[in-house]
Structure 1
Amino acid sequence: MALRHDRQTATLLKVWRLLNRCAAIYREEDRAERAGRRSWRDPAEILARRPYLKAEILRPARKRPE
């Protein structure tokens, strides 16, 4: 959430780098403990089951001052 809503703090703490490191650790665990089988699902599968994730909110156009 900090990456999305508190960019200054996320940048200061290098949160993106930490998330990538965490993903690398999980992948290494997959190799060591799951015979290399990945522990995540295909993104297309997720989106097919949750179409609302791709939905966009359409807002009515603002009235222009006359």
Structure 2
Amino acid sequence: MQFETLPTLEPGDVLQIRCTYNNSTENPYVVKALKEANMISTIDVAYGEGNTFDEMCVAGLSLVYPMP
């Protein structure tokens, strides 16, 4: 891929990430995960990558620039 075809950021540009969670029993995926974990109710969500119930919204940013 050529550098000219990549998206560019300019000074003052702002990047945002927004994640929406539905940790309720109205979400069939939560119900399934609870059943697989032998749990009967949801738990408080915390940052981590340890299990299905942890928060998993993380963004990474890589920069590419031509060498002078």
TM-score (norm. length: structure 1) = 0.26
Task: Report 1 or 2 for greater relative contact order, CA contacts < 8 Å, sequence distance ≥ 6.
Answer: 2
| TM-score under structure 2 length normalisation | 0.26
Structure with the higher helix share, 1 or 2 = 1
